[in-house]
Amino acid sequence: MATGKPVLVIGSLNMDLVARCEHLPRTGQSVFGTDFFTAPGGKGANQAVAAARLGARVTMAGCVGNDQFGHELVVGLQRDGVRCDFVRTVTRPTGTALITIDGQGANTIVVISGANTACDETLVDSALTGADAPGILLLQHEIPGEANAHAIRAARAAGWIIVLNPAPALPVAPALLPLIDVIAPNETEAEALTGSNDPREAARRLLKQGARAALITLGEEGALYCDADRALHCPAIAVQAVDTTAAGDAYLGALAASLAEGHGVTDSLGFAGAAAGLAVTRLGAQPSLGTREEVTAFIEQSGGRHSPVIAGASPADETGPNSAMSQGRP
């Protein structure tokens, strides 16, 4: 039975249409594919499933269309134990993502938002008040910015721990950054948000702009976590990548599940890295996400959890009480 604080995900639900090919096409080029399949996805739904399979008490809030894709997505979430009381059916078609994957596991993704654009403040309020207690809130940039902004303000006032995955890389209002406990872009998104392609410098700029903590995922290089107190490098487990589509979602779902259980940042980052490492060895978004037993076995097979190591002092210009940890948060 799931225990710990609740995890609430407010975000996108998409059906992924996936084509595999040896090489990603260049502009104007046609290539032959080797395989095609559909799989449930959307960053919000992926993160919800990732956390639920690892034992968290997860609620999903978002919108789907009154169509076959929408029905399949909700049934799949419920099968994984995700509470779907706040998944609303709307007249717009269910969101879709067109994904191509090359022989090395790299991908390109085109998202058609569809029903996800109907996620609004009313749905956000219903989801937050419908939770039995404040816990971990996961947000992404695949629903309207107004809904996310309202969720951040309302959740902060209610005592939630807020993790924002700014994907795709849209600007974050300066007034919102200090309200977010962890902002978690990948390298590309961090550069788009800060103008720096150096992860440590990007983290410094995010902290200087008011972020409580920055977690920058670095693919096969692991991740960099920084707050006003410290900087941690989180090494990745070496694997042969098959599909990197949901690696970041696996990471953040596992991070939320671990934090919800009461574990600290260091242990949670190590666990999240293992969950992401397992995910990239499998095809598909949600089909790639491991259970608690699978992630535990993967950690054992890889020689134990790869704990974060100190990467020097925090890159923040000044340390102070704005960090999540110094507030008694994650």
* Average of per-residue pLDDT values in the chain: 90
Quick check: 135 pLDDT over 50? yes
Task: Compute the average pLDDT of residues 278-289.
Answer: 88
- Concatenate the DSSP letters of all residues of 244-266 into one string: -TTHHHHHHHHHHHHHHTT--HH
Q: Is the bond into 168 cis (omega within 30 degrees of 0)?
A: yes
pTM of the predicted model over 0.95: no
Distance CA 39, CA 228 (A): 39
**3-state SS, residue 211:** coil
- pLDDT band of 313, cuts 50, 70, 90: low
d(CA 44, CA 62): 8
- Whole-angstrom Cα distance, residue 288 to residue 247? 9
- Cβ pair 322, 228 in contact under 8 A: yes
The Cα–Cα gap between 224 and 143 comes to 26
Q: Quick one: what percent of the chain has pLDDT higher than 90?
A: 73
Band of residue 239 on the pLDDT scale cut at 50, 70, 90? confident
Please tell me the distance from the alpha carbon of residue 21 to that of residue 72, in angstroms, as a whole number.
26
What pLDDT is attached to residue 325?
Answer: 39
Per-residue pLDDT at 244? 78
Of 33-37, 237-241, 315-319, the one with minimum mean pLDDT is 315-319
* pLDDT above 70: residue 317: no
In whole angstroms, how far apart are CA 329 and each of 135, 162, 212, 322?
11, 10, 10, 11
The pLDDT value recorded for residue 304 is 59
pLDDT, mean of residues 106-113: 88
| pLDDT > 80? residue 316 | no
Task: Dump pLDDT digits (tens) for 6-43.
Answer: 999 999 999 999 999 999 999 999 999 999 999 899 99
Burial of 312 (0-12, 13-18, 19+ CB in 10 A): exposed
pLDDT at 210: 94
Asked if residue 114 has pLDDT above 60, the reply is yes
Query: Between 317 and 170, whose confidence is greater?
Result: 170
Residues 207-234, mean pLDDT to the nearest whole number: 92
Evaluate if residue 327 carries a pLDDT over 50: no
> Mean pLDDT over residues 68-90, rounded?
98
CA 313 to CA 161: how far, in whole Å?
Answer: 24
Q: Which has the closest alpha carbon to 43: 97, 104, 103? A: 97
β-pairing, 213-217 with 223-227?
A: antiparallel
The pLDDT of residue 74 is above 60: yes
Considering the chain, what percentage of its residues have pLDDT values greater than 70? 91
Domain ranges of the chain: 6-24+35-322
Whether the CB-CB separation of 181 and 324 falls below 8 Å is answered with yes
Q: Residues 155-209: pLDDT tens digits?
A: 999 999 999 999 999 999 999 999 999 999 999 999 999 999 999 999 999 999 9
The predicted structure's pLDDT at residue 321: 37
Contact between 211 and 318 (Cβ < 8 Å): no
Residues known to be catalytic: 249
> Superfamily for 6-24+35-322?
Ribokinase (3.40.1190.20)
Per-residue pLDDT band at 320 (split at 50, 70, 90): very low
Which range among 102-106, 122-126, 268-272 shows the weakest confidence by mean pLDDT?
Answer: 102-106
Res 324 pLDDT > 60: no
